Amino acid sequence: MYDQITVMAKELYEKSVALRRDLHRHPETGWLEMRTSAVIAGILTNLGYEVLTGRQVVDDRARMGLPSEEARREHTKLVRESWDTPLTYLTEEMEAGYTGVIGILRCGQGPVCALRFDIDALGVLEDENACHRPAREDFASRCSGVMHACGHDGHTAIGLGVAEVLMNLREHLHGTVKLIFQPAEEGVRGARAIVSKGHLDDVDYFVGTHLAPLDGPDDGAVTPATYGSLATTKYDVIYRGAPAHAGGFPEKGRNALLAAACAAMGLAAIPRHSEGASRVNVGTLHAGTGRNVIPDYAKMEIELRGETTEINEYMAENARRVCEAAAAMYGCTCEMICMGAADSHHSDLTLADRAAAVIERELPDIRVSSVRCARNWGSEDISLMMNRVQSHGGQAICMRNITAMEAPQHTADFDFDEKVLEEGIRVFSAIAYDLLRDEPLHG
């Protein structure tokens, strides 16, 4: 059966490349993945999956970091009027910002296996130079200032290839497959809404991945597990004061800019934690209307991170204390709006060893890294899904699929070797088949 998986993945390669490039041309940021969701829903529906979209996928109360209504309306217009969008599968709820898709394949009694693929892009202006392959080969972004600069277009293409392979293997599977196409991973905003909806509550096995560069610490094509992504909380901090003439009646003003600036300095003074790494960053500060007006409004965008969920909470508690004290000092009010959050994560080594054994035994041309569980110093809200599965006794891993990259992720000239699409389809399909096959093999 694994030989058939390899054959099917190779046959899907050109289709997967074309799909990845189509998604790359039409990048969409978190909660605006309207066209992307429609494309995914259409492919899964035509394959025969039970397809969930819109409010079936996400809990509205748990969505964070939503775009403005103006941004949502503008993007809806772009999708409908300027892009070749498959409108058959574009729903009103997608256009309202309820993005993301789940495909379910039920194959009788057996365990539930969830595979997760993130789908959103970044606010990056793509390089238009001819030395950048997407520009040279005409699949660069057609949405100015938005780009798939992290490989999520590749993740989505891998997931849809896996969907086709597993549908072809359904008579040999026992259990349920859930393919989770998650919105708004950037800024760690989307996973919580899917977890809150209950989609991970019955999952026995959970597998996710991220593309990673060849020049990293991994020495193979696949690292079967990662651990330790930094827990994080991201806030918009809004200060409101009172305007006044800066020269004539300064005592009547309440300077929101100074309150925010005081907070920015105070945040940098939070003591580091003795039990692990901690981070704080003030990314933006916008305030004021003119040099002769006391600023009555200021907005900061900040983030906290911690090596563990507990350390991150320590940082968040101190950040709230600092921000509120700065507001009181300048007679202003302070509102802290959570725009994204994720926990730390760990992969289950039992499942990682099983995945590694399947790859080594059945896909011997795909080399498994000698380090079976590698450190991840970024932040990833896949942690929320993994932790929910593990909380009721399930097993979860977050892998790395290693590939050559034109430039680092989150940069304007990012691109990757598309051979990883075929490898990714084979790896996910082989692991899922091993978990749900008639007579599972271990080790």
Q: What are the binding residues?
A: 150, 152, 186, 210, 410
Task: Using the structure block, give the residue that is written with the tokens 């020049």.
Answer: 215
Reading phi first (left if > 0) and then psi (alpha if -120 to 50, else beta), residue 7 is in alpha
Q: Which residues pair with 20 in a beta bridge?
A: none
DSSP 3-state of 162: helix
Token pair 């084979």 is found at: 426
Single out the residue of 176, 165, 52 nearest to residue 103, CA to CA.
Answer: 52
Number of H helices, E strands in the chain: 12, 13
Residues in the chain: 443
Query: In this structure, what token pair is assigned to residue 55?
Result: 């409010």
Distance CA 72, CA 31 (A): 9
Q: How far apart are CA 63 and CA 75, in angstroms?
A: 19
Q: Indicate the annotated binding residues for Mn(2+).
A: 150, 152, 186, 210, 410
For 249, the 3-state DSSP assignment is coil
Q: Is residue 383 within 8 Å of residue 229, measured between CB atoms?
A: yes
Residues 119/100, Cβ–Cβ less than 8 Å: yes
Contacts of 282 (CB under 8 A, 6+ apart): 264, 267, 268, 300, 301, 302
- 252 with 242: CB under 8 angstroms? yes
Please provide the DSSP assignment of 398-433 as one string.
EEEEEE-BSS-TTSTT--B-THHHHHHHHHHHHHHH
User: How would you class 364 by CB atoms within 10 Å of its CB: exposed for 0-12, middle for 13-18, buried for 19 or more?
Assistant: exposed
The gap between the terminal CA atoms of the chain, to the nearest Å, is 17
Residue 198 · residue 403 · CB < 8 Å: no
Q: Nearest CA to 387 among 350, 420, 417, 344? A: 344
Say if residues 134 and 231 touch (Cβ distance below 8 Å).
no
